[in-house]
Amino acid sequence: MSVLSHVLEAAGLATVALISVRSVAERMHPPRALYCEFPLGRPLGVPGDAAFQHEVLTRAFALLGKPEGPVLADHPTVVEADETPMACALPPRFDPDGAPAVDEALGLRNAYDRSFSARGRTSVGRVVGPDEVPAALEALIGIADGTDWAEAGLPGGNPISTVHDIRSYYEEAALELVDGPTPGGRAAEAWFFEQTEAGAVVMAARRAMKAAGAPQPFWFYMAPGHRR
């Protein structure tokens, strides 16, 4: 959106961008942007709250009257993600002496296999298959503990694709364990990042990579942008 703003402005069209990730606007310098600390996918903040949404748009359009930019303003209200994690019981520990996330992944293997058998397809496999998920988690644990991410043994050296495969493995396994109807994507996301050992490892590795100065795209896209 920031790049497109420059293209449209060059053609003589004034633009205002609603920005969900402030660091992107700080790098790309769109002519006028309103940073809204809202959950990704909710550019106007609160679903169903027309008054709040109109206030966001009014504040954004007001930037058209600002002097020549780039102008980057902050919306004063923070809207927290409120997705309720799906109800999914995790298997009991298999090896109490092993890393919790690795043990958890091993415990989910039967559920993943049942899910794959029932559906005949999987999203796991960009860089690791189900057999390699435990080792991929070991690599992320190493990063969280201080190993340089480029030397941690990540499959293909790609943390984004590695996490995609781990998360897909977990969420597909959860389809066989979840209580109630099939959950929506955000409920599955909340479950993975808030209730599983693997989700905690991913976030710890992400924070460690950021602190170590890893290239921003490599750590940022390991998790949805609103995850801290």
CA–CA distance, 222 with 144 (Å, rounded to integer): 13
Confidence of residue 122 (pLDDT cuts 50, 70, 90): very high
Express each pLDDT in 38-51 by its tens digit: 877 788 988 889 99
Distance of CA 76 to the CA centre of its chain: 23
Express each pLDDT in 144-201 by its tens digit: 999 999 999 998 889 999 999 999 999 999 989 987 666 666 788 889 999 999 999 9
User: What's at 116, amino acid-wise?
Assistant: F
pLDDT given for residue 192 in this prediction: 94
Question: What mean pLDDT is reported for the chain?
Answer: 89
Confidence of residue 27 (pLDDT cuts 50, 70, 90): confident
Percent of the chain exceeding pLDDT 90 equals: 58
Burial 50-88 (b: 16+ CB within 10 A, else e): eeebeebeebbeebeeeeeebbbbebeeebebebebbeb
Burial 13-34 (b: 16+ CB within 10 A, else e): eebbbbbbeeebbeebebbbbb
CA–CA distance, 154 with 132 (Å, rounded to integer): 11
pTM above 0.85, yes or no: no
Question: Any idea where the domains of the chain sit in the sequence?
Answer: 2-74, 100-220
State the DSSP code for 88. B
pLDDT given for residue 46 in this prediction: 84
pLDDT given for residue 73 in this prediction: 93
Express each pLDDT in 201-222 by its tens digit: 999 999 999 999 999 889 999 9
**Average pLDDT rounded to a whole number, residues 2-6:** 79
Confidence of residue 143 (pLDDT cuts 50, 70, 90): very high
